[in-house]
Amino acid sequence: MLDRFNSNSSKPNAVRILAIVFFATALLFALIGTVMGDSFYIRLATEALIFGGLALSVDLLLGHVGLLPLGQALFFGLGAYVSAVVLKEWAASFWLAIIVSMLFCAFAGLIGGLIAIRSKGVYFALISFGLAQVFSRVIYNTRELGASDGMTGVPVVTVVPGLQTDNPLGFFFVTWLVIGGLYLVLRYVMQTPMGRLFSAIRVNEHRVCFLGFDAWRFKITAFVAAAVVAGLSGALYPMLRGFVSPELMFFQVSGNAVVNVIVGGSGTLIGALYGAGLLTVLKSILGSFTVHHHIVIGLLFVVVVIAFPRGIIGYLVPVLEARLSKKKTGDNS
């Protein structure tokens, strides 16, 4: 999984174009949905973006630091539950729910990180998996949180005056801004010394210590950041659907996020979003033909891992930048 951020190459341009295409297409999709008067597709697109945020958090760990998290849905679900509880029990305030969710997940991420970051490879994957299993089991059995039925009746809230969460296009736009913002922040971070060290850890963690940096501290930071990203995305879920359930923490959700990242292209950030978007569309299309769409996605994933491990964006970027450098007359990158 190559370094994509060489200081003097046209790769960032290729990625930038693909990112613009993604967000523009998403917006277009929602606008078409509004024009057609069908809110189902707008809500689907919003949900795709929300799970795209979870995929971003997985890519941060898998594609950049090099840790495979098989339980990232834990933080997604925690963010969702905290958001629902805040909205129902505390105050029906969008901003409060978001902020409290993020803080809670940062704290949870710190605890989880202290447990998980001592390990690498499969041990990390299993601890991550185990944490999600354990906590989803706990919540499943907690009556105060609705047990297996989850919590319903999350109130509609006002994001800004005039824009409420039950407005499909409006809330889509809010989600679009949040996820877009997360993407931009993460891309920026990857261009900072800290972000570059994340990649260095993935490439050769051993040497990083000999460069004078404490790899453990960076891994914890990445883990907490990923928890916050997942939690923030999760916090939007109850605002969209009006309920939360323990299923949000189940392995299916974690697994899907990993599939999204690998199919889209790990290490590219935008690949995670493309993966989430494309697979949501694919599931929707397949779902109208057969109820067994899961296995198709599973097979697609296996094929990608074997034959196209760099994912869609991973293969598109070199192609695109070859085109771009041809256009630059007399410029050889």
Q: Which residues bind other proteins (CB under 8 A)?
A: 1-3, 6-9, 62, 66, 68, 70, 115, 118-119, 121-123, 125-127, 129-131, 133-134, 137-138, 141, 188, 191-194, 196-197, 199-200, 203-204, 206-207, 209-214, 251, 255, 258-259, 262, 292, 294-295, 298-299, 301-302, 305-306, 309
Choose between 89 and 144: whose C-beta lies nearer to other proteins.
Answer: 144
Choose between 2 and 285: whose C-beta lies nearer to other proteins.
Answer: 2
Choose between 126 and 281: whose C-beta lies nearer to other proteins.
Answer: 126
How would you class 190 by CB atoms within 10 Å of its CB: exposed for 0-12, middle for 13-18, buried for 19 or more? buried
Q: Token pair for residue 272?
A: 């995670």
Q: Token pair for residue 186?
A: 């993460």
Choose between 208 and 316: whose C-beta lies nearer to other proteins.
Answer: 208
Distances (CA, A) of 246 to 69, 72, 147, 177: 19, 14, 8, 27
Please tell me whether residue 53 adopts helix, strand or coil conformation.
helix
**What is d(CA 186, CA 200) in angstroms, rounded to the nearest whole number?**
16
Of 207, 240, 198, nearest in space to 64 by CA: 198
**Residue 328 CB contacts under 8 Å (≥ 6 apart), including other chains:** 10
In whole angstroms, the minimum distance from the beta carbon of 125 to other proteins comes to: 6
What secondary structure does DSSP assign to 96-108, as a single string?
A: HHHHHHHHHHHHH
> What angle, rounded to 10 degrees, do the helices at 168-190 and 11-35 form?
170
In whole angstroms, the minimum distance from the beta carbon of 239 to other proteins comes to: 29
In this structure, the number of other CB atoms found within 10 A of the CB of residue 134 comes to 13
In whole angstroms, the minimum distance from the beta carbon of 162 to other proteins comes to: 34
Buried b (16+ CB within 10 A) or exposed e, 154-189: beebebeeeeebebbbbbbbbbbebbbebbeebbeb
DSSP, res 156: P
Residue 211: phi and psi, rounded to 5, are: -85, -5
Choose between 168 and 311: whose C-beta lies nearer to other proteins.
Answer: 311
In whole angstroms, the minimum distance from the beta carbon of 38 to other proteins comes to: 29
Of 50, 49, 67, nearest in space to 58 by CA: 67
In whole angstroms, the minimum distance from the beta carbon of 7 to other proteins comes to: 7
In whole angstroms, the minimum distance from the beta carbon of 144 to other proteins comes to: 15
In whole angstroms, the minimum distance from the beta carbon of 211 to other proteins comes to: 5
Choose between 206 and 327: whose C-beta lies nearer to other proteins.
Answer: 206
Choose between 35 and 291: whose C-beta lies nearer to other proteins.
Answer: 291
Choose between 36 and 122: whose C-beta lies nearer to other proteins.
Answer: 122
In whole angstroms, the minimum distance from the beta carbon of 198 to other proteins comes to: 11
